[in-house]
Chains A and B, each alone.
Chain A
Amino acid sequence: MVKRDSSLQITRFHCSRVRWRRALHHSSRTLGIAYGDLMRVCGCSATETHFTKLPMNSYCAELIPEISSLSWVTTTVPLVMVLLITAVKDATDDYNEKWMNVRVGDIIKLENNHFVTADILLLSSSEPYGLCYIETAELDGETNLKVRQALTVTSDLGADITKLADFNGNIICEPPNNKLDKFTGTLYWRDNKYPLDNEKMLLRGCVLRNTEWCFGMVVFAGLQTKLMQNCGRTKFKRTSIDKLMNTLVLWIFGFLVCMGVILAIGNTIWEQKVGRSFSVYLLWDEPIRNNNVVFSGFLTFWSYIIILNTMVPISLYVSVEVIRLGHSYFINWDRKMYYIQKDTPAEARTTTLNEELGQVEFIFSDKTGTLTQNIMVFNKCSINGKSYGTRDSRCAFAFGSCVLELSHFSFNPLSDRKFKFHDSSLLEAIKMEEPSVQDFFRLLALCHTVIDDKVDRDLVYQAQSPDEGALVTAARNFGFVFRSRTPETVTLYEMGTAVNYQLLAILDFNNVRKRMSVIVRNPAGHIKLYCKGADTIIFDRLDPSNHVLMNTTSEHLYEFAGEGLRTLALAYKDLDENVLEEWMKRLLYASTVIENREEGLADLYEEIETGLMLLGATAVEDKLQEGVPETIACLTLANIKIWVLTGDKLETAMNIGYSCNMLRDDMNEVFIISGHSVLEVQQQLRLGLMAHALEPELEQVLLETACLCKTVICCRVTPMQKAQVVELVKTNKMAVTLAIGDGANDVSMIKTAHIGVGISGQEGMQAVLASDYSFAQFRYLQRLLLVHGRWSYFRMCNFLFYFFYKNFAFTLVHFWFGFFCGFSAQTVYDQWFITLFNIVYTSLPVLAMGLFDQDVNEANSHRYPSLYRPGQLNVLFNKRQFFLCTLQGVGTSFLLFFIPYGAFCLVARDDGSHISDQQAFAVIISTSLVIVVSVQIGLDTYYWTAVNHVFVWGSLAVYFAILFAMHSDGLFSIFPSHFPFIGTARNCLTQKSVWLVIMLTTVATSVHLLMDCTRFFSFCCEMLPHSSTKAPVSSWTFLWGIALALPLRSNRSQMCSIRLRYGFFAGHGRTLTILSCRKSRTERVVWLVALSCWRVMSG
């Protein structure tokens, strides 16, 4: 509990002042962020803190002359560049740093259309009763206006600034959390205490509407606000590539130390045997002159650490971030993921997870609003044991030939014209004034949280949930028009006459209660409780006298659910005045308690919601979203397992399953697992059924069974259980999981999965806020995974492979040279070259490849979903690939060093003067290196856009331009000691022999690359039946292929009709074998209906 004392300061009455101060603050913060980010860049998590020290250490070490093998410029320049880039990225990235100057306890004035700047307790407003209206679209996406009301005592403060300044209440409230719809606190003021709840809070991110002004006291500011608490989390998700990268950097660090040790030992021996006698020409420093060769070795170790530290690339993390950012923007920019109806583009809310999108193996999907549109249509109902809305069987199968009988609502001037109902008998029942039917619709018109909104004298409802909207609209058309509401009353037009109900209490809905009730007093003075909710919940609380009606109704419900409709049961109860009075007192008390307030209230609600009288049930239709079956079919072909987790009933879920193509008629074994206890489930197990629950001991079996199945649908799951299922798969299968959902009940699952995807649909923004990616339609998932994800993964892997390779090839030349220069840590290259190699000469081409490369175009990515397989198998970049790229880097550096060595060791120029001097050698090797790595990037690039061309050729051009500039007379005459290479480029690169050597080096280093990455043999033509399709998906490195093919083929007998297809693969001896299951042996579907068992577990 946090104690907030508002008497501390009461200042800053106008937002503009706060804003101004923020601007200053923001700019000064950027530097801080930049530095902090460097730390992050160098060491992304706790495990990597060491790496931060590495560049720093070497930086310090360079200041010591004995071991300073590089000038300070050499490492400072890249460091500064990295810092700058990071700072720029952060400055653009980060607009969260608003309102830093608002502090807890401040009293703030807000005006109409202002953004709320912190989480504020509403004190007073310009409207009567201290009301104010807010729009929470930024927060939860709900565009309907919401009402907030100040406490009566504080609303009396009005706009009187002196009174407000004297306001000295204490607020005791919950600690900062991310629950947008919940707040508990108590205000202590003038010896009284007042309960505070969410209805009195204005959360940061809301916009004030229809209210001239209001005053509020800051309760949470800055990072503690609920908005920020909802945002901060995403940073902690890291991809497996990230983790691998960290491990690899550690390995490289180890490798670096090993080489340092080898060279240091070499130096010790060399000094002992050779160097000592050479000391005539080089008077050693004092310690070494005293025959202390070991000390010399020690110094050499540090010198080599400095020289070789380019192996641990500081620019790697920055480049990776830049590439990911680019990929995120491509997702944001994608028109094919833009939903035109709602003007919603896809949004990558996290920039760090893109490549993981290419490795997803499990998708956990919500049903409502995710697979379906979540646009509800009141379709059927059952009132007092009679079912309405069933289409006539005559018409049901004869579309067009039979005119459907639409109910006419012309009697009702307030009716919604779009509303249609296919059964006129209900209308007749209304006209007959049947009491149960009237009560049914009265309940629908009263028991909800919809807000009325009059637009051009038209009645428009603003509903938080589409179900509610559909039900209230239905009531409206049947003559029970919800007209307006105030905090204390609800006005209905019942068959044309206005009736005022006094609203005594609202027992609101939540996921645990699964019901809501209102208690109203009608004009006649009778007190009634109206309740609507999930059928099982309502049925448990019915009066025993309802037994017969309940059976009939539940039959109807079963029918409705079988058609995939969403059902609710309705009930009422007459209340006695005295009972209610006593109950209200206890309610008032319970709502001021701070600890366990929720539980206390729930118990009270439970108490009054008993002995209900059943009225009937509603059935609301929710249509499937466009393209869902196709998407699911395609993702299944990509070997992604889709599990649907829904809170719906079994029948509803099953129906959706069939319509989504998840269940098909050819699936002969559909298992329905249902059990109410551990024992039952175990029994079903013994019977050979695949039945399990989330019991700890059954978890494993459940998982194994479920993974054998083609389709898994879990119904009746709570949000918590959704998260548990995800967690189970995540921890046990070592697979990348993706959760997709649209509602608040999916938040936990979205947060648990590796990747959370939010559908910005009808149910607000909570899922989106918790998600990593969001878009408007389920079908975009296919594009997100198969196109964006696949490309991201492919690009990132290629990028990493090349990046490590490049740095090894670049750095290890020093190692070979060590054996010739007495291990004295003499660099091979010009210092300027070392400075610029990573950041200027080679950074852009690989960045372009990482951003733009496409091995397969998007059409083929969709057409051949099995191309997604390599990502799931993680074959493009793993430890083995890293080993290969190290090997390749070592090989390249070997050739780079020894070919020029062999050629120039004792050779003269064509004019007789020598060329075997160190500077010429440096120029030859660095030129070869730049050319070799450019050729390599050229071979790695599949998709040469203009940008790639500009970057690759541009980098080469820039290399030569800078080389000649650095070796020019002018620079040397100004800074002779910094540019000692004067004239070397001219004298070397004009020699034919130099170009012969460069050519030979390039050819020799590229041959094995070429062989590897020529997408060489067309083994997989079956996969690409039309050879004309221009997809470079047609080749393969033969050696790896044969090696891999053999074991796979021997497995064939076990996999009944699995076809082997040989993909080629992409680069560096990476191989890909695409397995595609035409028809799986286990065509089984498991239905997991785990009610009580799961509760046991979650409890």
Chain B
Amino acid sequence: MGKAKANAGPLARRPDNSAFKQQRLPAWSPMLTAQTVLPFFYGMAIVCVLLGAWLLVTVQNTHELKVDYTHAGSCDKCFEKRKDRANANQSCNCTVVFNIENMFKGDVFFYYGLINFHQNLRQYMDSRDDGQMIGRNKNLRNPSSYCEPFIKDKNGLPIAPCGAVANSMFNDSFTLVYHSAAGSRVVPLFRKGITWYTDKNVKFRNPQVENKTLTLAQVFEGTGQPLYWQKPVYDLDPWDRNNNGFINEDLIVWMREAAFPNFKKLYGVLNRAIEPFTDGLPAGNYSVLISYNFPVEYFQGRKEVVLSTVSWFGGQNNFLPVAYLVTGCLILLLAVILTAVWWKFGKNGRNMEE
């Protein structure tokens, strides 16, 4: 500290007269006083309230319908059946009926929801191998140890996709049917385009092989399917050959782990090219045919089907407008109190001494 500078002379050790060293850097020091802060408070309160009101109106125009089918209607028998693990390979179909009173205008999204399913447990979330899912052959044959114990099947073959997340993939399937006066007809759903672009095109890739002529089944040869799956990964979508393997969209959606135990995941999007669904879902009676496979009774879980429309800020969300309104009102209240105090005590800048 305090080293003498190299240059000699009578004032050799005189400190530099720079603004930095003399702590005189030009600076903006905001003077927050009642006159500047109170308007800011009021402004903020008004912005919050207005925004909240606008959001509230927007939300009122969206629709959402939830149908819990865990043991609703004919699904009760399936529920009972799934209690016994021995019946795992027997299929079970059931139907749930519901009614839409007001038309769902615009794009309609079809979700499945799970209640009390913990996708956010640390050991569960870690139990996957992103290297395998991006199609690395090394990881395909030798999955990461994070996948334990879902890493090898009983034949000793490496599991693809490995890990607890993939293993527990939701495997109910749905068919939405519209019952109108003109008869019943299946509501057409897009089953693709339900993932993030980056997931579909970057994060999940099928294993790359040099020989392009190989089928997907051949590519995955030498790997086993996850323990709880009924079909191998290359055969997930029997109707669309390009929607198989790691890039199967249902798999991708499932692999994006939910943050909370109650969640919904996108299943399909209404195809509005076909009458009478060009404007959305018309009011009327609907039923959902469910291939009931996913057991939830072990963890006291519930399953539901959700139909929803969205607004410019996403799906139906009452929290946000209400939160904005509440915050706005609180700020307003605060601002009024502060104004009163300021008016009484501080307006003229007098001190409190009489």
Contact = CB atoms under 8 A, between A and B. Distances in A.
Interface of A: 69, 274-275, 277-278, 280-284, 303, 328-330, 332-336, 338, 340, 343-345, 347-349, 351, 791, 820-822, 824-827, 852, 854, 858, 899, 901-921, 942-948, 969, 972-973, 976-977, 980, 982-983, 986-987, 991-993, 996-997, 1000, 1003-1004, 1007, 1010-1011, 1014-1023, 1027, 1030, 1032, 1034-1035, 1038, 1041, 1045, 1049, 1059-1062
A307 to B, nearest CB: 10
A1010 B299 CA distance: 46
Kindly list the 4 A-B residue pairs having the minimum CB-CB distance in the complex, ordered from nearest: A983-B198, A1017-B346, A908-B315, A333-B21
B258 A903 contact: no
A351 B2 CA distance: 12
Contacts of A980: 130
Contact of B168 (A274, A281, A947, A1000): A281
A998 to B, nearest CB: 12
A913 B196 contact: yes
B324 interface: yes
A281 B125 contact: no
Contacts of A1034: 31, 33, 349
Given A281-B124, A1016-B32, A1060 B352 contact: yes
B34 A1017 contact: yes
B22 A335 contact: yes
Given A278-B298, A334-B22, A1032-B31, A1019 B319 contact: no
Contacts of A858: 23
Interface string B180-219: 0000000000000011111100110000000000000000
Nearest to B15: A333
A865 B316 CA distance: 59
B122 A303 contact: yes
A1049 B33 CA distance: 25
Contacts of A282: 121, 123-124, 127, 164, 168
B349 to A, nearest CB: 4
Interface stretch (B71-79, B232-240, B274-282, B334-342): B334-342
A920 B1 CA distance: 49
B203 A982 contact: yes
13 contacts: A283-B149, A334-B15, A852-B25, A903-B320, A908-B264, A910-B314, A914-B265, A917-B257, A946-B25, A993-B317, A1019-B351, A1022-B350, A1035-B34
B326 to A, nearest CB: 9
A827 B299 CA distance: 23
A859 B13 CA distance: 25
A901 B198 contact: no
Contact of A1038 (B116, B168, B338): B338
B109 interface: yes
Contacts of B199: 983
Contact of B33 (A278, A973, A1018): A1018
Given A280-B298, A983-B198, A916 B338 contact: no
Given A1007-B331, A1017-B342, A1035-B32, A945 B25 contact: yes
A821 B117 CA distance: 10
Contacts of B312: 910, 992
B273 interface: no
Contacts of B125: 826, 918
A985 to B, nearest CB: 10
B198 A982 contact: yes
A334 B23 CA distance: 8
B300 interface: yes
B198 A332 contact: no
B123 A824 contact: yes
B299 A277 contact: yes
B39 interface: no
Contact of B314 (A907, A1014, A1023): A907
Contacts of A336: 22
Contacts of A912: 107, 109, 194, 266, 269, 308, 310, 315
Contact of B323 (A275, A824, A991, A1000): A1000
A1000 B260 contact: no
Contacts of A920: 259
A1006 B153 CA distance: 54
B262 A905 contact: yes
A278 B317 contact: no
Given A345-B14, A908-B109, A1060-B352, A821 B118 contact: yes
Given A906-B262, A917-B256, A1021 B29 contact: no
Contacts of B156: none
A1030 B29 contact: yes
A914 B266 contact: yes
Interface of B: 1-2, 10-17, 21-23, 25-34, 37, 41, 44, 48, 51, 55, 107, 109, 111, 113, 116, 118-125, 127, 129-131, 133-134, 136, 144, 149-150, 164, 167-168, 194-199, 202-203, 253, 256-266, 269, 295, 298-300, 308, 310-317, 319-320, 323-324, 327, 330-331, 334, 338, 341-342, 345-346, 349-353
Contact of A910 (B16, B119, B310): B310
A1020 B349 CA distance: 7
Contact of B130 (A821, A905, A944, A977): A977
Contacts of B257: 917-919
Contacts of A1035: 32-34
Nearest to A1021: B349
Given A283-B149, A983-B198, A1003-B48, A332 B1 contact: yes
A1035 B347 CA distance: 11
Nearest to B16: A333
B122 A976 contact: no
Contact of A996 (B44, B134, B320, B351): B320
A862 to B, nearest CB: 14
Given A347-B2, A976-B136, A1045 B352 contact: yes
Contacts of B299: 274, 277-278, 280-281
A349 B353 CA distance: 44
A332 B2 contact: yes
Contact of B37 (A340, A351, A972, A1016): A1016
Contact of B1 (A281, A348, A1011): A348
B122 A903 contact: no
B170 to A, nearest CB: 11
Contacts of B150: 283
Contacts of A1049: 352
A821 B122 contact: yes
B198 A824 contact: no
Given A334-B22, A918-B258, A993 B320 contact: yes
B127 A908 contact: no
A869 to B, nearest CB: 15
Contacts of B295: 280
Given A282-B164, A919-B256, A1035-B33, 10 more contacts: A274-B299, A283-B149, A822-B120, A824-B122, A825-B122, A827-B122, A908-B315, A973-B134, A992-B314, A1022-B350
Contacts of A1030: 29, 31
B61 to A, nearest CB: 14
B159 to A, nearest CB: 13
Contacts of B37: 1010, 1014, 1016
Contacts of A1007: 44, 327, 330-331, 334
Contacts of A986: 198
B179 to A, nearest CB: 24
A1022 to B, nearest CB: 5
A991 B258 contact: no
B263 A902 contact: no
Nearest to B314: A993
Nearest to A997: B320
A1035 to B, nearest CB: 6
Nearest to B300: A277
A1018 B349 contact: yes
A280 B167 CA distance: 10
Contacts of B130: 972, 976-977, 980
